[in-house]
Amino acid sequence: MPQVPLTCAQTGQPVPDYLVHTLDGNFVDGSGRTLLLRGVNLSGSSKAPVGHPSHILKDFWEAGEAGSESFVGQPLNLADGSADEHLRRLRGWGFNMLRYPITWEALEHEGPGKYDYEFIDYTIRVLRKCKEYGFKVYLDPHQDVWSRFSGGSGAPYWTLPACGINPRAFTATQAAILHCEYPSPPPDSRDPASLPSMIWSTNYGRLASQTLFALFFGGRTFAPKCIIDGINIQDYLQSHFTRAFAILAERIRDAGGLLDEVVVGWDGMNEPAEGFIAYPDLNVYPTVQGSTLKKGSVPSPAQSFRLGMGIAQTVDYYTLGGFGPIRDGTVTIDPCGASIWADPADEPGGVHPRWKWRRDPQWKLGLCVWALHGVWDVETGYILQPDYFRYLPLSTSVPTPPSAESESRVEVDFLHDFFLPQVTSYFSAIRAAHPNAIAFVQVPVFAVPPEVPETLLQGRACAAPHYYDGLTLISRHWNWYNADALGMIRGKYSNPVFAVRVGEKAIRACIRSQLGVLKADAVQLGTAPLSAPSLPSSPLAVQARYPTIIGEIGTPFDMDRKASYDPSNPRYGDYGPQERALDASLSAADGANALNYTVWTYCTDSTHRWSDGWNMEDLSLWSSDDLACRIGSPTSTDVTMNGGVGMMTPAHASTATLATLRSASLPYASVSEPAHVRLAFLRDGARAVKAFCRPWPVSTVGVPSTIEFDIGKATVKILVTVRAGDMPRVYKELGEDEGEGEEDTEGAEAKSEKTSGSGTASVHSLESEKILEEKPSPLPTEIFLPLVHFASETCVSRSLVLAGQQQAQTIPDGDADPDTHGTGCVPTGTATPNTYTASTATLLLSSPRLNSVSPSEIRIANEAYDVTVKMSEGHVELCERTQMLRWFYSVPTTPGARKEVWIEVKRTGGAIKYPRGAGARSRKGRAGFAGWLEGLSGGDMNPCPESCIVM
């Protein structure tokens, strides 16, 4: 591992010890340990204002046109104490990283250049709350298919009329599918609950989204007549987008104590799209499988042009077959003359009365912008230039490869010609306010990144692709077969049948392979600028300079027609298939991939009826409808009604907030409650919790080579490569008494925390070290060991009683000692800790009897845990309160030396088999976390003392 720099290259200042580095393909902490950053997107709810999920039509258009809706309250309610409860739950699940979606609309909804500083200040308060719980955050300028007003999220309403578009005609022309108007707006029938799964994503292939992205990325090249306020629409849109997020960055900087300490970096635009750019033939829809889903009506670009001008068309219709979308006849769409192009009367004298921009006279409203530029003829409907977007115009400001002849037509490379200039401008603006920002580089879904020059990345970057198991996401079913979707899109197979995988073992291996390919894409980051992008012949053989984080990954929970939500279904309350699907995806991030990730998503207002509040997506890891006090109630999917319009407010909400409990003391556990109370809290409301609450090495001395977790056996094995130079740095404040002796781990952590929250970095010096062949590491490898998987039988049983569930069972393990309460099981929660090493088992006289199965196998059990630990060397400490196993071992000091060490932890007695389904709950549990505490010992809250068990 390269040495962590002592001086910041961006600022010239001493590097604070809380700064996260990107070195040698990994995230690295200030001491030089490899970090794995894993967490969740907080939150999918942030796509819309509070109380206005995507299915609500009332005031939808009116509020957008007025720019009046504030996003204050998304993603967390800071007024009622629930924010603490949610953040504590996320931390208790082991997460240390948050991807924080913020839409452009949330910042600039009132109009061009009018920023919502109330929302920005609210965001700062939420970030401070995240800091209290020890989270790192990267901010995500989120969008889907451009805007809420084109069927997704992201851009403010005013960007659509700025592009000469009338969005109220989207549904009639099928230029976009809007949830709140599905399948058709009044006076026809409207049934938003019937919106087909993932049909929102077909908007990427429809006229509105394709036009808007083409103008945003390539307006100067492909729409030179589109001039507004004296500049091209591309520059107008990009400058406003970039400035809005730069304003946010500046405000966060000025608030102090957040940049680098909490906010480690910024994502680029979420899932950017090419629009029409690089389209080979506007007369046909591409026959090669791409990342845009074919479902429902599928007009070709030529047909969408005509529909946009109000001309009826008969288009292909697709349904989902066993192996993907299949053509299922045609359907006729008749807009009855409605046009998406704004009426010239909307801008008297070329000036918009509401937004005040001035449109250039050559930009004629009422006419399709592509007809305006001679791409097609409105009178005949004929496409005049079918390859218009395939080539760069001969006179263009976009640089062409020097090898190209001056008179030849140069094919468009969207990523190199259009995406890279935009992302360069954006990150440059962000770094003006946040010099140390890590650039999370995200390209269109499943695209190979362009070669991004180091002049942009400056040593602080990360590849940030997204991955979903597409078949499961679309079909809402965990199938016995699947396919290598990434391989198909990238042309790996001559025939799609070769991409098919049958059986769960093959499916899991396939998903892991796909994530490995996405990780290998990071070799594109930090290359020298070239005239045209190219891939190494064997990317896996090239060491990436920068790490990879899977920015979005997850699985739907409304599988099989919402069987888990239906009180009449035997699977009511059972998330078994969802657990298998999610485990397959997250397990794929383990193995040799050892990937960082942020799961999509955690929504505090997720309900069974309206899902995550956006286009019927249902991927939230938690729902109030799954709280123990609600399962079994036939009204658990009801919603509060407001003016006849369904709202997202749960009919029953937890009455508990952590505001009534003691304040935070540690990020992973802010209340010293008994372990069984904590376990019950972490499971309550969670869906498929065993899949996402997983063991993993958080901070590693060396680099994790492989991570293997068997969810069915509750066994994790971690292999670490340790090299000379991986010895962690132990910081000592300058001026500290040199005669104080060696600094222990607890002290090192405490000193690290001293700089957090100050906003000013302390100046440090390194401890002097003797050069030895091997030397014990002063800092441990820290492994998150979740109670959800490794709790003792006593802890599990008590937690289920608390939650009103029946007794848990365990899955037998042939190698496990079935005696969990005899002399072989040692309660070690004593005042004097026990110390165990890989070669010896030391029994302190003050401790109860120990049973060591072998010199290198140690079993320890108490009220919280019952685990057996094997390791190649060293010793471990288990901190119950933080659910963290600390593993100490030696590091080679001879230059060039390296070694591998391993550790295996399993739950003694096998995996916990929690009750599944509604029948598992024999009585109602108390509502909320505070209710559990109050219910202990006859209402007398007397949590057990904190303890750190050393093994």
Helix/strand/coil for 950 = strand
User: Among this protein's residues, is 108 annotated catalytic?
Assistant: no
CB 205 within 8 A of CB 139: no
108, 552, 673, 793: which one is catalytic?
552
In the chain, what's the furthest Cα-to-Cα distance? 95
In 3-state terms, the chain is what percent helix, strand and coil (to 5)?
30, 20, 50
CB 29 within 8 A of CB 16: no
Q: How far, in Å, CA of 442 to CA of 420, rounded?
A: 11
- Distances, alpha carbon 636 to alpha carbons 514, 564, 609, 632, 807, in Å: 38, 12, 9, 8, 24
What is the number of alpha carbons within 13 Å of residue 759 lying toward its C-beta? 8
User: Among this protein's residues, is 271 annotated catalytic?
Assistant: yes
- Beta-carbon contacts of 773 under 8 Å, excluding residues fewer than 6 positions away, are 892, 893, 894, 897
271, 673, 793, 877: which one is catalytic?
271
Angle between helical axes of 233-255 and 117-132 (0-180°, round to 10): 50
Helices marked H in 647-792: 675-683, 689-692, 745-755, 787-790
Give me the sign of the Cα torsion angle 117, 120, 122, 124: negative
Closest CA to 907 of 785, 771, 779, 764: 785
- Beta-carbon contacts of 872 under 8 Å, excluding residues fewer than 6 positions away, are 838, 856, 889, 900, 901, 902, 903
Q: How far, in Å, CA of 850 to CA of 4, rounded?
A: 42
- Distances, alpha carbon 187 to alpha carbons 65, 121, 183, 190, 563, in Å: 21, 41, 12, 8, 33
Run of H or E residues at 944:
none
CB 144 within 8 A of CB 154: yes
CB 225 within 8 A of CB 232: no
Q: How far, in Å, CA of 608 to CA of 623, rounded?
A: 8
Q: How far, in Å, CA of 394 to CA of 391, rounded?
A: 9
Q: How far, in Å, CA of 737 to CA of 743, rounded?
A: 11
Phi, psi of 671 (to 5 degrees): -130, 135
CB 162 within 8 A of CB 231: no
CB 107 within 8 A of CB 115: yes
Q: How far, in Å, CA of 682 to CA of 488, rounded?
A: 39
List active site positions.
Answer: 271, 552
